[in-house]
Structures are given as C-alpha cells and as structure tokens.
Amino acid sequence: MNSDAAKELIETYVDAFNRGDIDAVCQCFAPNALSFGVLGWGEISKVRPIWEQLTTSFRMQVRVDSIIAEGNVVAVRLTESGTFAAPFGEIAPTGKSYDAVAMEWFEVSDQGIVRRWGSRDTASVLRQLGIPLA
C-alpha cells in the first residue's frame, strides 16, 4: 500500500469513528489485527466493545491535526473531544466536556490496518470530565 492510500485508510477509520459506525471502523482492519490502547489490547473483537462504549458514553469525536505516512506506517496527531453523556461502566455521566491531544500509530497492509497503538492524556480527560483519579 502506498503512503497516500495508507493515509486515506486512516482517514476512513477516523470518519467512521466520528459517525459512531463501529462496523465501518472494524472493516478498516485486517484479519487478526491487534489494537493497543489505554483500556487494553487485543484483536478487534476484544476492543470493539470498548470503542462502542467510548462513542456512546463520551460522544467521542476525533479531528486529524497532522498525518504522516512512510511505507506501511502512519502516524497521526489528533484532537479528541467529547461529552460525558451516558454511564461508562459504573461511573455516572457528569455532562462535562473535554478536549485532549491523542496520538495514534498504525501499521497497514493491503488488507487494512494490521496494528494500531493509541495514546492520550487520560488524566487530563478524567479531570475535565469530573471523574476522580484513582
């Protein structure tokens, strides 16, 4: 996959995530892909429920601020925002909003995203949402 196609794949992933279309998000991944993030890691079937809860509980949206591709690697700096509108596990919604910088790193192939790593300032997000730090 060339760099332009790799960036386009990641932009498709972001667009699907922003629509809350987790089926379309999952279709961006290759079979046996792995995703690594703050709430855990695993095959897409394992992280899918996390993504569903994030989009439901926090109305999470991401905006691509910068995207770089070289070979089969794509690095993205995002602005993530949302509002805590529905329960997240046993935590009641606060109605508060947040904005945070997020970084995601992808390895891609002709079959889709093979590996995804996500990192964000979770402590800042929790503070903004009024969730006590453990």
Predicted local confidence at residue 133, as pLDDT: 81
Instruction: Let me know if residue 89 belongs to a domain.
Output: yes
Q: Do residues 113 and 29 touch, judged by C-beta distance below 8 A?
A: yes
Instruction: Let me know if residue 26 belongs to a domain.
Output: yes
Instruction: Let me know if residue 25 belongs to a domain.
Output: yes
Whole-angstrom Cα distance, residue 30 to residue 109?
A: 8
State the total domains in the chain: 1
Domain that holds residue 95: 3-129
Instruction: Give the CATH number of the domain where residue 27 resides.
Output: 3.10.450.50
Whole-angstrom Cα distance, residue 1 to residue 110?
A: 6
Instruction: Let me know if residue 134 belongs to a domain.
Output: no
Per-residue pLDDT of the chain (134 residues; tens, 9 = 90+): 899 999 999 999 999 999 999 999 999 999 999 999 876 788 999 999 989 998 999 999 999 999 999 999 999 999 999 999 999 989 999 999 999 999 999 999 999 999 999 999 889 999 999 998 87
In a 10 Å sphere around its CB, with 0-12 CB exposed, 13-18 middle and 19+ buried, how is residue 65 labelled?
exposed
Instruction: Let me know if residue 111 belongs to a domain.
Output: yes
